[in-house]
C-alpha cells in the first residue's frame, strides 16, 4: 500500500520519497504529538486503529483541535486548506493547494502527471509484459465489481481477477491518486518491489496507469492474509495448525533476512504485520505491501531519522515511534509482534483485555518474564504444538521485542534461533548476561508511556485513567531492562 501524505497534513512538500532517505534532526515534536494523540476522542481513535498511519512530525495545527490532525489516516483526498495553515507554508505552496478554479488546467496537470509516471515506470519495468492493459483488468475483475473486492487498505482497494489463461490475480488500485505525492510514492514502491525476487515475497506481475488510477497487479493468494486466517473472517475455516504457524514464522523471517541482508540494496519494509502476510495454497507466507518500504542505509550509519513516522499501531518499535529512528530493527520488532500473534492467536491490540494488557506485547511480556510460557499458547493448538519449536518461538519473540534497538538482535540471528535447537541454550545465557549490559537508548518515562498509550488508542477513552494505566504497564514492562545514557541522535 502506498502511504501518501497530503500537503494539508505534511507541510514539508517534498515528495515523500525524498523524505524517506533524508536525515533530519530529532526535536521534541514526537513527544508533543504523542500528547496530542492522548486527547483524541474514542471516535477518532477508532478511525485510525489497525491501519497504517502517517504521523507528520512537523509542528502544525497546535492551535487546532488537539490530536486529530497528526493522526489523520492518509486518504489521498485533495488537500483542504485552512486559513491557519497558510501561516506556515510558502505562498507558492498555498496557492498551489487552493481549490481548483481552472478545471482545464487541472486536467492538463493530470495528463502531465500520468505521462510522467508512465515514463518513470517504463524506465523501471523494461519488460513490456509487465504492462497490463486496463480493459484486460476490467474484464478480469468483472468491471471491478463489488463481489470481487477482496480487501481494502488505508489507501487502496484490492480486487480478485481471473485472466483469460485462468491465472488468478489481485488488482490493487490506489485511491484517488491524482495527487503528486501519490504518484511519486507509487513509483517508489514499484521501484523497490520490482527489484525483489524471493519465494516468501509477493512478486509484482505488472502495473497499469489509467487516467489517475495507479494499479499494481500481483498473484492472487487464494487463502488471503495471515490476519484474516488467524483473527478475521477466515478464522475457523482455516485453523492454522502449529506446524503451519512455525513454517510461517520461518518463511517470514527468511523474507526479512533477504530484504535486510541479501539484496544488493537493503530494504526496510516498515509495515510488517499479519495483514501484509499473504498465504499461498500450501500456507507458505508471502510478505506483501511495500508501500511504506524504504532503502536501508548503505553507508556505515546504521539508522536514519525520519521526519514522518509511518506504520501500524501495535507494531511500531519504540525508537521509531518516539524518535523516528529507522533501521532494519523496526522490522525485527514488528516481526516479534507477529510471532506473538502466531503463538497466542491473539490480536496485537485487544480492547476487551484488562487495563494494562490491551496490547499483546504488554500482555505477553510479564508472562515471559515470569516463566508462564504455556499461558501464551493459543488453546487451538495446545494438542498439536511442538515443545522445542514453541520455546524457540517464544524466545525469538522476546528478543525481537527488546526495547533497545541496539540490543535487539538482527533478523539473521533470530532466524538462526528459530531454525536451530542448539541455539536456545546460548541465547538463554546471553539473556542472563544482558542484565549487566549498558543500554544506550533511554526513553523518558513520560514519552514511553505515551508510546504505549498510542499502541492502545482504540481502547481508552478516559484520559487520566489511560495515563496512569500506561505508567503502571510501562514500569512493569520495562523495569527489568538496563539503562543509562540518553538517546543520542
Residues that bind ligand ATP (CB under 6 A): 1, 51-52, 150-154, 156, 158, 170, 172, 202, 218, 220-221, 224-225, 228, 271, 275-276, 278, 288-289
Lookup: cell for 330: 523496526
221/293 with CB nearer ligand ATP: 221
**DSSP structure class, residue 161:** E
Edge-to-edge order in the sheet of strand 285-287 = 224-225, 277-279, 285-287
158/401 with CB nearer ligand ATP: 158
CB of 152 vs ligand ATP, minimal distance in Å: 6
Where are the strands (E) in 4-163, listed by range? 52-56, 149-152, 156-162
175/365 with CB nearer ligand ATP: 175
**DSSP structure class, residue 28:** T
CB of 263 vs ligand ATP, minimal distance in Å: 21
Task: Exactly one of 185, 257, 271, 328 is catalytic; name it.
Answer: 271
CB of 376 vs ligand ATP, minimal distance in Å: 25
Among all residues, whose Cβ is closest to ligand ATP?
Answer: 151
Instruction: List Cβ neighbours of 88 (8 Å cut-off, separation of 6 or more).
Output: 11, 60
Give one DSSP letter per residue of 213-249, joined into a string.
EEEEEEE--SSEEHHHHHTSTTTTTSPPPHHHHHHHH
Lookup: cell for 306: 525520519
150/457 with CB nearer ligand ATP: 150
- Cβ distance 235 to 282 under 8 Å? no
20/394 with CB nearer ligand ATP: 20
CA angle 387, 391, 393 (to 5 degrees): 115
288/473 with CB nearer ligand ATP: 288
Lookup: cell for 120: 518513470
CB of 232 vs ligand ATP, minimal distance in Å: 8
The reply to whether 271 belongs to the active site is: yes
Write down the H helix ranges in 16-102.
16-21, 29-38, 42-48, 68-71, 91-96
C-alpha 187/C-alpha 189 separation (Å) is 5
CB of 159 vs ligand ATP, minimal distance in Å: 9
154/348 with CB nearer ligand ATP: 154
DSSP element (H, E) containing 106: helix 103-124
Lookup: cell for 388: 522445542
CB of 48 vs ligand ATP, minimal distance in Å: 10
**DSSP structure class, residue 201:** B
CB of 49 vs ligand ATP, minimal distance in Å: 11
C-alpha 339/C-alpha 333 separation (Å) is 10
Q: Which of the residues are catalytic?
A: 271
Amino acid at each position: 500500500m502506498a502511504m501518501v501524505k497530503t500537503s494539508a497534513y505534511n507541510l514539508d512538500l517534498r515528495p515523500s520519497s525524498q523524505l524517506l532517505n533524508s536525515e533530519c534532526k530529532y526535536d521534541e515534536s514526537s513527544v508533543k504529538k504523542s500528547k496530542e494523540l492522548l486527547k483524541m476522542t474514542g471516535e477518532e481513535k477508532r478511525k485510525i486503529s489497525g491501519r497504517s498511519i502517517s504521523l507528520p512530525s512537523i509542528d502544525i495545527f497546535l492551535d487546532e483541535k488537539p490530536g486529530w490532525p497528526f493522526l489523520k489516516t492518509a486518504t489521498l483526498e485533495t488537500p483542504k486548506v485552512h486559513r491557519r495553515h497558510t501561516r506556515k507554508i510558502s505562498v507558492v505552496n498555498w496557492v498551489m493547494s487552493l481549490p481548483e478554479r481552472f478545471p482545464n488546467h487541472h486536467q492538463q496537470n493530470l495528463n502531465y502527471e500520468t505521462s510522467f509516471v508512465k515514463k518513470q515506470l517504463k524506465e523501471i519495468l523494461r519488460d513490456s509484459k509487465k504492462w497490463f492493459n486496463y480493459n484486460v483488468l476490467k474484464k478480469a475483475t468483472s468491471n471491478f465489481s463489488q463481489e470481487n473486492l477482496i480487501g481494502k487498505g488505508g489507501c487502496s482497494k484490492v480486487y480478485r481477477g481471473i485472466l483469460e489463461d485462468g491465472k488468478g490475480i489481485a488488482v490493487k488500485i490506489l485511491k484517488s491518486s491524482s495527487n503528486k505525492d501519490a504518484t511519486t510514492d507509487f513509483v517508489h514502491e514499484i521501484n523497490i518491489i520490482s527489484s525483489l525476487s524471493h519465494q516468501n515475497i509477493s512478486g509484482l506481475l505488472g502495473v497499469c496507469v489509467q487516467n489517475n488510477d495507479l494499479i499494481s497487479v500481483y498473484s492472487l493468494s487464494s487463502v488471503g492474509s495471515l490476519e484474516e486466517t488467524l483473527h478475521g473472517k477466515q478464522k475457523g475455516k482455516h485453523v492454522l495448525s502449529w506446524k503451519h504457524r512455525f513454517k510461517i514464522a520461518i518463511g517470514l523471517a527468511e523474507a526479512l533476512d533477504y530484504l535486510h541482508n541479501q539484496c544488493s540494496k537493503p530494504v526496510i519494509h516498515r509495515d510488517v504485520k499479519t495483514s501484509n502476510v499473504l498465504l499461498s495454497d500450501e500456507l507458505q507466507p508471502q510478505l506483501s505491501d511495500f508501500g511504506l518500504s524504504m532503502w536501508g542505509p548503505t553507508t556505515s550509519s546504521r539508522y536514519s531519522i525520519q521526519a514522518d513516522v509511518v506504520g501500524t499501531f501495535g507494531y511500531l518499535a519504540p525508537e521509531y515511534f518516539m524518535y523516528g529512528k529507522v533501521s532494519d530493527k523496526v522490522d525485527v520488532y514488528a516481526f516479534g509482534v507477529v510471532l506473538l500473534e502466531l503463538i497466542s492467536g491473539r490480536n496485537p491490540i485487544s480492547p476487551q483485555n484488562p487495563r494494562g494488557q490491551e496490547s499483546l506485547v504488554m500482555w505477553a511480556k510479564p508472562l515471559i518474564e515470569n516463566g508462564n510460557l504455556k499461558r501464551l499458547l493459543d488453546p487451538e493448538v495446545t494438542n498439536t504444538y511442538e515443545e522445542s519449536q514453541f520455546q524457540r518461538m517464544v524466545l525469538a519473540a522476546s528478543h525481537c521485542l527488546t526495547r533497545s534497538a541496539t540490543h535487539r538482535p538482527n533478523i539473521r540471528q533470530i532466524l538462526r534461533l528459530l531454525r536451530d535447537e542448539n541455539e536456545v541454550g546460548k541465547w538463554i545465557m546471553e539473556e542472563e548476561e544482558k542484565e549487566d549490559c549498558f543500554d544506550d537508548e533511554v526513553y523518558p518515562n513520560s514519552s514511553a508511556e505515551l508510546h504505549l498509550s498510542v499502541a492502545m488508542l482504540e481502547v481508552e477513552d478516559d484520559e487520566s485513567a489511560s495515563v496512569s494505566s500506561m505508567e503502571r504497564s510501562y514500569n512493569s514492562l520495562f523495569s527489568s531492562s538496563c539503562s543509562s545514557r540518553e538517546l543520542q541522535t
